[in-house]
């Protein structure tokens, strides 16, 4: 259990030394820091349990570790947006990847109040990080998850204020998929002038659509694995702009294949 002072944990009996185990996903208490262990009374423990029960813990999806400083940022974002009582708040994107190689924090707010987008500046001021704030109602979210592979991939790794039900039945909207596929045509028209991260983004979009049509599981990990399998090149090499002519030829082949699958099903 986490409180403002630190973490309350139980002493476990060890072979030579008794031990205290701390959860890996926590706010503060970084590895290597010195801490003070202090005994608390049963009454204090009961009060702490009551406080913890009242404050809901963030829900993690496909996330094994998150740096403590990121947890503090997420809690601050939840606090700011939570004042407006939205249905849910979901953190997604590169912010959740290990390390600090991210440009902004992606925040999905489930609410009927579109004015919540005004909270963007307040989040940026409080955290010092640019915020990408998307506000939509629950109906739009469900529709997106059922018909758009990018929604499914976006939420495959996330942290939410409340539990999200991901058991959504897919609906193939081939016209929408065709529009999404057009983004990836940019690669064919501008391959030589794109940087590595742009090439990776268009490839990610293309392969996620192909997997979606073939009714395969979509997550950042599964799409990255499929990219490396099909192109025989690592995702890191693509981001480092080391993809050459062989990659480009294979990309055009897969793009044409995916486009034909869509065209054959558009009524």
Q: What is the pLDDT of residue 163?
A: 86
> Could you read off the pLDDT of 11-34 as tens digits, one per residue?
776 666 767 777 766 656 667 776
Range of the domain at 254: 174-263
Res. 102: pLDDT tops 90: no
Q: Is 88 helix (H, G, I), strand (E, B) or coil?
A: strand
Q: What is the pLDDT of residue 137?
A: 92
Q: Of the segments 5-14, 20-29, 139-148, 236-245, which one has the largest average pLDDT value?
A: 236-245
Within this chain, do residues 156 and 189 fall inside the same structural domain, yes or no? no
Domain-located, residue 168: no
Domain-located, residue 119: yes
Res. 46: pLDDT tops 80: no
Domain-located, residue 1: no
**CATH number of the domain where residue 86 is located:** 3.30.460.10
Residues 6 or more apart from 19 whose CB is under 8 A from it? 11, 12
Domain-located, residue 2: no
Within this chain, do residues 237 and 259 fall inside the same structural domain, yes or no? yes
Give the residue-averaged pLDDT of 34-59: 61
Within this chain, do residues 33 and 68 fall inside the same structural domain, yes or no? no
Banded pLDDT at 115 (limits 50, 70, 90): confident
Q: Of the segments 16-30, 142-156, 180-194, which one has the largest average pLDDT value?
A: 180-194
| Closest by Cα among 163, 161, 164, 27 to 84 | 161
Q: Which of 127, 160, 193 is the last residue of a domain?
A: 160
Domain-located, residue 95: yes
Q: Which residue has the tokens 């793009």?
A: 255
Within this chain, do residues 100 and 44 fall inside the same structural domain, yes or no? no
Within this chain, do residues 44 and 22 fall inside the same structural domain, yes or no? yes
**What are the structure tokens assigned to 172, written together?**
């193939």
Domain-located, residue 214: yes
205, 244 Cβ separation under 8 angstroms:
no
Domain-located, residue 147: yes
Domain-located, residue 145: yes
Within this chain, do residues 96 and 184 fall inside the same structural domain, yes or no? no
Ramachandran sector of residue 215 (left: φ over 0; alpha: ψ -120 to 50; beta: rest) = left
Res. 2: pLDDT tops 70: no
| Closest by Cα among 157, 71, 149 to 108 | 157
Cα distance between residue 99 and residue 221, in whole Å: 16
Within this chain, do residues 63 and 153 fall inside the same structural domain, yes or no? yes
Within this chain, do residues 180 and 96 fall inside the same structural domain, yes or no? no
Cα distance between residue 224 and residue 232, in whole Å: 12
**What are the structure tokens assigned to 43, written together?**
């009454």
Within this chain, do residues 134 and 154 fall inside the same structural domain, yes or no? yes
Ramachandran sector of residue 7 (left: φ over 0; alpha: ψ -120 to 50; beta: rest) = beta
Give the residue-averaged pLDDT of 36-51: 59
Q: What is the pLDDT of residue 211?
A: 95
| Closest by Cα among 177, 262, 256 to 218 | 177
Within this chain, do residues 64 and 120 fall inside the same structural domain, yes or no? yes
What's the mean per-residue pLDDT of the chain? Answer: 85
Ramachandran sector of residue 195 (left: φ over 0; alpha: ψ -120 to 50; beta: rest) = beta
Tally of structural domains, the chain? 3
Q: Of the segments 31-35, 196-200, 215-219, 262-266, which one has the largest average pLDDT value?
A: 196-200
> Could you read off the pLDDT of 48-74 as tens digits, one per residue?
554 444 457 899 998 888 999 999 999
Q: Which of 103, 134, 160 is the last residue of a domain?
A: 160
**What are the structure tokens assigned to 58, written together?**
């963030």
61, 155 Cβ separation under 8 angstroms:
yes
Q: Which of 160, 182, 216 is the last residue of a domain?
A: 160
Within this chain, do residues 68 and 49 fall inside the same structural domain, yes or no? no
Res. 150: pLDDT tops 50: yes
Who wins on pLDDT, 211 or 164?
A: 211
Res. 5: pLDDT tops 60: no
**What share of the chain has pLDDT > 90, as a percent?**
58
Q: Is 226 helix (H, G, I), strand (E, B) or coil?
A: helix
Burial annotation 227-244 (CB, 10 A radius, 16+ → b, else e): beebbebebebbbeeebe
Within this chain, do residues 127 and 62 fall inside the same structural domain, yes or no? yes
Give the residue-averaged pLDDT of 75-82: 95
Give the residue-averaged pLDDT of 100-120: 87
Res. 135: pLDDT tops 60: yes
**What are the structure tokens assigned to 84, written together?**
């407006």
């Amino acid at each position: 259990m986490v409180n403002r002072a630190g973490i309350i944990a139980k002493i476990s009996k060890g072979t030579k030394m008794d031990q205290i185990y701390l959860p890996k996903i926590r706010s503060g208490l970084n590895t290597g820091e010195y801490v003070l262990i202090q005994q608390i009374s049963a009454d204090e423990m009961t009060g702490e349990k009551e406080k913890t029960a009242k404050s809901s813990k963030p829900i993690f999806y496909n996330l094994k570790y998150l740096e403590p400083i990121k947890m503090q940022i997420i809690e601050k974002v939840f606090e700011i947006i939570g004042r407006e009582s939205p249905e849910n708040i979901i953190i997604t994107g590169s912010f959740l990847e290990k390390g600090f190689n991210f440009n902004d924090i992606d925040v999905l707010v489930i609410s009927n109040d579109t004015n919540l987008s005004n909270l963007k500046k307040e989040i940026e001021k409080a955290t010092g990080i640019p915020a990408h704030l998307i506000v939509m109602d629950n109906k739009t979210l469900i529709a997106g998850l059922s018909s758009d592979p990018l929604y499914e991939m976006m939420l495959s790794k996330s942290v939410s204020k409340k539990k999200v039900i991901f058991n959504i039945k897919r609906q193939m909207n081939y016209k929408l998929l065709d529009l999404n596929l057009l983004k990836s045509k940019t690669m064919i028209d501008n391959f030589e002038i794109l940087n590595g991260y742009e090439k990776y983004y268009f490839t990610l979009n293309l392969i996620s659509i192909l997997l979606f049509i073939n009714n395969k599981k979509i997550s950042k990990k599964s799409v990255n694995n499929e990219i490396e399998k099909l192109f025989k090149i690592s995702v890191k090499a693509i981001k480092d702009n080391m993809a050459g002519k062989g990659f480009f030829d294979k990309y055009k082949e897969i793009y044409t294949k995916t486009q034909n699958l869509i065209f054959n099903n558009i009524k």
